[in-house]
Amino acid sequence: MLARHADPIVAIATAPGRGAVGIVRVSGKQLESLVQALCGRSLRPREAAYLPFLDARGEPIDQGLALFFPAPRSYTGEDILELQAHGGPVVLQLLLARCLEAAAEPDPATGAPRLPGLRVAQPGEFTERAFLNGKIDLAQAEAVADLIDASTEAAARSAGRSLSGAFSHEVQLLRDALIQLRMLVEATLDFPEEEIDFLRSSDARGQLQRLQQRLAQVMQRTQQGALLREGIKVVIAGQPNAGKSSLLNALAGAELAIVTPIAGTTRDRVQQTIQIEGVPLHVIDTAGLRESSDEVERMGIARTWEAIADADAVLFLHDLTRAAEREYQDGDAAIESALVQRLPPQVPIIDVWNKSDCAPQTEGPRQSPARPAIVLSARTGQGLDSLRQTLLQVAGWQTAAEGVYLARTRHIQALQTVQHHLHQAALLLDTPDLPLDLLAEELRLAQNALGTLTGEFTSEDLLGVIFSRFCIGK
């Protein structure tokens, strides 16, 4: 634990701006003297008191509710004082300044400062204290930020599951099973002459297989949770006037992009985040792809290819009303060739045939059996539901997924590391001359990777990255 973790801290815990209520929060050890200075009297634990908040002269700065939570029954595990005042920025700044001022004042009883070392909290430092003092684990701490940042109802509910400990419970079950297997292997190391029979009679292989199966289930739910948190980036690409801007507007349900019959209207990227069944989709409308002598349009086309290179999925938009034109077919073929060359193989391409309401009934899309194709009308909305479901499918979302908890990229990477080490352990179990020391090491590494999820094995650098992304006061 770093030296700064022992400092008492204070911060405004509500969002900047004006509101009905604003909160100033203090966390530290032995806050009773500070409480006396700010409130004029002591407070009963966990009982709201309506009273004036006093300045150095004993004059009220504001009146509001004061709450005192003695350690260890508090959010951070330390003493916590919360001052709930009117939510004006000036009032809250005055209260913050008064907390710092009162902390440096001498205590009438001892003559020492009331709360020496009180400083303004860094981002996420209250939640970091909660983690360091064992009130929550690291996965739950991250869920606090994810709950605040949730962009959909499904994401908020999943973050709530993680905060309540659902994800941590799954990790704990994996850890317990892994420890049991490690104990078996470590014990076998002490009796090398009986190692094979001992492992067989204890069903080491069966234990490992059951552990791998449980891990696979956790990884599946974690990947679903990562989709809820991160969403996917979808780029709409195609020739000019295929209806890219109209499709963006139709998906978003709002007029976000300018739509005209003039080719090259869209010069730059237009992005909108929508949600389908709670999954965020960051949809990007781009400039039409074609040869152009217009410098501004050429810059827009270059940015289109930049967006495509960074996409999780590409909607390749085709115009059904021009599908029979040779020149249009050549343009689509050129885009197709460029997409194949520039996109990684794992990035899906969805062929979207637009303007079905205007196309001759005799015309039909040329479909590739290797990828999905959707026929729709961005103007009338026909076919949009099919496109939405296809987007969820290529993203890997399972509609009936239950018990999903919000997850981060680092969670998936840690579980993949666990999976790798368990796979290596399984291979070792199948070798004729079983190297017990190597088997024990693979299981130890798997447990260490699991420990990074809840903070059992976590570097100070990683903690700094995680909590620095919180808001101040949380």
Residue ranges of the binding site for (6S)-5-formyl-5,6,7,8-tetrahydrofolate:
25, 82, 135, 474
Query: From CA 429, how far away is CA 433, in angstroms rounded?
Result: 9
Q: What is the DSSP code string of 448-469? A: HHHHHHHTSS--HHHHHHHHHT
Known binding-site residues for Mg(2+) equal 245, 266
- Cα(407)–Cα(219) distance, rounded to whole angstroms? 10
Helix (H, G, I), strand (E, B) or coil at 332: helix
Annotation: binding site: 25, 82, 135, 241-246, 260-266, 285-288, 377-379, 474
Select from 14, 123, 121 the least CA-distant residue to 465: 123
3-state SS track over 48-117? CEEEEEECCCCCEEEEEEEEEECCCCCCCCCEEEEEEEEECHHHHHHHHHHHHHHHHCECCCCCCECCCC
**Which spans in 231-277 are helix H?**
244-252
Instruction: Say how many C-beta atoms besides its own lie within 10 A of residue 85's C-beta.
Output: 22
3-class SS of residue 372: coil
Q: With left for phi above 0 and alpha for psi between -120 and 50, is residue 253 left, alpha or beta?
A: left
Query: What 3-state DSSP class applies to 280?
Result: strand
CA distance 97 to 108: 21
Q: Beta strand 279-285 with 232-238: parallel, antiparallel or unpaired?
A: parallel
Q: Among 85, 6, 5, 69, which residue's Cα sits nearest to residue 32?
A: 69
Annotated binding-site positions for K(+): 241, 260, 262, 265
The whole-angstrom separation of Cα 261 and Cα 414 is: 50
Find the farthest-apart pair of alpha carbons in the chain and give their distance in angstroms, rounded: 94
Collapsed DSSP state (helix, strand, coil) of residue 211: helix
Judged by DSSP in three states, 38 sits in helix
Annotated binding site for GTP: 241-246, 260-266, 285-288, 377-379
Q: How far apart are CA 323 and CA 211, in angstroms?
A: 53
For the chain, first and last CA: distance in Å?
19
**Which residues have a Cβ under 8 Å from the Cβ of 226 and sit 6 or more positions away?**
406, 407, 408, 409, 411, 412
